[in-house]
Every structure is written in C-alpha cells, then in structure tokens.
Amino acid sequence: MKYKGLICAMITPLDENQNINPKATCELIDYLINKGVSGLFILGTNGECHVLTDDEKVEFAKIVVKHTNNRVPVFVGTGGNSTREVINLSKRMEEIGASALSIITPYFVPPTQNELIAHYKAIAESVNLPIMMYNMPGKTGINIEPESVRELAKVKNIVGIKDSSGKLDNMKAYLEVTKGEDFSVFSGSDSLILDILKAGGHGAVAATANFLAGIDIAIYDNFIKGDLEAAQKAQNSIEELRRILKLGTIPSVIKKAVVLNGIDVGPARFPVTQPTGEVLEEIKKVVENYKKEFNKDL
C-alpha cells in the first residue's frame, strides 16, 4: 500500500515543567484527525526528537498510538546516529503498536552512501514495520542520493521517503528512480506541497498543519479534484505562517500559534525559549489574521 495525502509533522505538547502533556496531546490528535489529516508523523524535527530521551519518546508514542486508535497511521521517528540504538528504539516502537517508522539519516558525522544503505537495510531487517526514510541535508549534513533511494526502495518494508531538502529536483529524481516500486515520495518542505503533487508525488509531511491543517489539506484535496486554482490559492495562503516560523528557533513559533489557536501545547524544550516582545506580537497578529480570514478552514 502506498501512503499518500497530507500528514501532519506533529509537535510534542509539553507542560510548564517541560514534561510531556498527555491531555494536550490528545486534544491535538483529535483536532488534526477531525480536520482530515492522512496520518500523524511524530518525533520528527518539529516534534523535538533531538531533545527527548528514548524513554520519553516511547512514553509519547504510547499516548499517540493509544488515542489515535487506528483512525490514521502513526509514523514514529526513531532515527539516530547509531544503527544499534535505532534498531533498539524501533523494536520498542513496534511493540507498542506504531503503524510505521520514520528514520532520519545519521547526523553530526555524515556517513557515506554505502554506509547509509547498510544502515537502513540493517534497520529494515530488524523490524516488520514499514519504514519511511527522512532526508534533511540542511540539518544532517548528508543527502540520501537518488541512486541510494533506488536500491533501498527495493527493500520490502522501506516504503517511502520524506524529503526536506527544499529541492524539487531532488524529489523528482526520487520519483524517477522508484518508478514501478511500491514507494511514496513526500515533500517535507511545506512550500513545495503543490509542486511535488504536480510532479507525481504522493503528498506532504507538513509542520504547518499543526495550525493550518484545513488549509494544507485543501492543497491536496483540490489538486486531486483537478481544481489547480484553488490548490494554488491554498498553497499561497500558508506563506504568511511560513514567514513567521523563521522568527524563532524550531518549534517555538508553531507551538505558540497552536496555543493561540486554543490547544495548550506549551513551550518548546530548553534551551529553546518562548517568543517574547515584538516576535510574540507578530505571531499574535498573524494568528488573528488567519482566524479572521479563514475561521473554520484552519
């Protein structure tokens, strides 16, 4: 089965003491599923995977899997630098009922393409869950090259890739080398949702959906219906949110937007701090403008 649609790169709600907040997590899950997302992608970049312990990741995944209750697939991030540690965490996530795994490339010391292929193959052999690779060269220092994707797409349970390179040509190359495979290519760059769909891609994993789920889904739905004008209008309308996301360290701004929209997902984990001053005022203004213009479409 090919995965497709608009999947939310879900934030991780925390309380005032920086601990996982189960209540807000469940509220956010219900909000996103009721809006119509095709899946939940947890413990990614905007999910603060890099500042959570493995035990916290398992704790959070248990909450999400249980509350989602098979309404949509739950993609759980288990990536890391050590193949052994990724395998151990992936097995734990399989035990608690994750639908699929999301595995970012190793980072800090970027491996060669051959090492990367061996890394993903070893993980795939250790679990039965579907695996979506996660390419984010701007943060990891390594790009999963198309020829590597060609080889890895032949592995039975490696079923797709989220590409956050921001390069449409890179995604098009992934589509080209995986023709005929049961393999999905998703944009991880929210600015390219419509572009990847036009190129033959299968959807997007979007962080903006935490606040603009209805608008992001409208990009996909209108494209599928053949209404490219409406799809483009929806694509253009997320740019104002994307602009202010750059005003703070990930994921402080998107978290504040969600809080202002009525779900108390709390702050980011330290050392990232909450927006204040002029930045906070700008976020408030943009959120209010979205509410006035789109209201129930958010």
What is the per-residue pLDDT for 35?
97
102-130: pLDDT as tens digits? 999 999 999 999 999 999 999 999 999 99
Query: Average pLDDT for residues 73-78, to the nearest whole number?
Result: 98
What is the per-residue pLDDT for 2?
87
Give the CA count within 13 Å in the CB-facing half-sphere of 194: 23
Just list the catalytic residues.
134, 162
24-59: pLDDT as tens digits? 999 999 999 999 999 999 999 999 999 999 999 999
- Residue % of the chain over a pLDDT of 90: 97
pLDDT(297) > 80: no
Query: Average pLDDT for residues 6-12, to the nearest whole number?
Result: 98
What is the per-residue pLDDT for 57?
98
What is the per-residue pLDDT for 209?
98
What is the per-residue pLDDT for 242?
98
What is the per-residue pLDDT for 1?
67
What is the per-residue pLDDT for 110?
92
What is the per-residue pLDDT for 296?
65
State pTM to two decimals: 0.97
Q: Which long-range contacts (CB under 8 A, 24 or more apart) does 213-217 make?
A: 213/6, 213/8, 213/31, 213/32, 213/35, 213/36, 213/37, 213/298, 214/35, 214/36, 214/294, 214/296, 214/297, 214/298, 215/294, 215/297, 215/298, 216/6, 216/8, 216/190, 217/6, 217/35, 217/36, 217/37
What is the per-residue pLDDT for 193?
98
Cα–Cα separations (whole angstroms), residue 214 to 7, 62, 79, 268:
12, 26, 29, 24
pLDDT(295) > 90: no
β-sheet bridge partners, residue 185: 161
Query: Average pLDDT for residues 251-268, to the nearest whole number?
Result: 98
185-225: pLDDT as tens digits? 999 999 999 999 999 999 999 999 999 999 999 999 999 99
Confidence of residue 227 (pLDDT cuts 50, 70, 90): very high
State how far the Cα of 256 lies from the Cα of 270, in Å rounded to an integer.
Answer: 15
Q: Pull the structure tokens for residue 247.
A: 């005003």
Yes or no: say if 110 and 141 are a contact pair by the CB < 8 Å rule: yes
> Taking all residues of the chain, what is their mean pLDDT, rounded to a whole number?
97
State how far the Cα of 66 lies from the Cα of 74, in Å rounded to an integer.
Answer: 10
What is the per-residue pLDDT for 117?
98
Query: Average pLDDT for residues 52-69, to the nearest whole number?
Result: 98
Which domains are assigned to the chain?
5-236 (3.20.20.70)
